[in-house]
A = this chain, B = another copy of it.
Amino acid sequence: MSRVRTRPTRDDTREKLFEAAARVFEEQGIGGASIEAIAAAAGFTRGAFYSNFKSKDELIIAMLEDHVEQSIGRIRDLLDRHKNLADFIDALKSMDKSHHDPLGRSPLLHMEMILFVARAEKRRPELAKRLRARRKLVTDIIETTARNSGRTTILNPTWAGALVLALEDGFRLHRLIDPETTPPDSFFRAIGDLQRTMGISSA
């Protein structure tokens, strides 16, 4: 190793390409983004891109894997540190306030990713499987906290999980076009309502 590194490491380059791609996808959508635009946004030429990824698809898949892994990791971590659900949700809330959503990406990009996965289902069914694993993690959390609670649950846990997840992404989506009637805490407010009236889990 030389004393002062002038060339960025491979991981640096990949990381910069990830971030640049996120910005470009955010602005132009996945389909509308050219490889040139991504490389340029990262301060590189296409050469750097092709040296790191075979194609735009491969970059997206790597990003996706990275994001899902981080999201699942964050959730598990939070779950370890906050055993009871009230604390867990409070912790989620404060994460949410710090500009990051629970999945750790911007809402627009998040939606783009889901559409990408949906379209890629036939070519690459493993991508949707990854997203379903994250879903399952959430429903499992709801299921176990429900079981451990003294409260009787009105809804069955799997269904309650589906409900919560639909609300999360539904609000995220609607906030894009109607932030006025969809304040940032809509999701948590809805969760609160569910807890209070349906007993999806104890506090």
Contacts and interface: CB of A to CB of B under 8 A. Distances in A.
Interface stretch (A8-16, A38-46, A94-102, A163-171): A163-171
Contact of A115 (B111, B117, B178, B186): B111
The oligomer's copy count stands at: 2
A135 B31 CA distance: 28
A62 to B, nearest CB: 19
Interface of A is mostly: helix
A149 to B, nearest CB: 17
A45 to B, nearest CB: 23
Interface residues of A, number: 49
A190 interface: yes
Given A31-B29, A128-B177, A197 B154 contact: yes
Given A31-B30, A32-B31, A166 B170 contact: yes
A135 B181 contact: yes
B29 A119 contact: yes
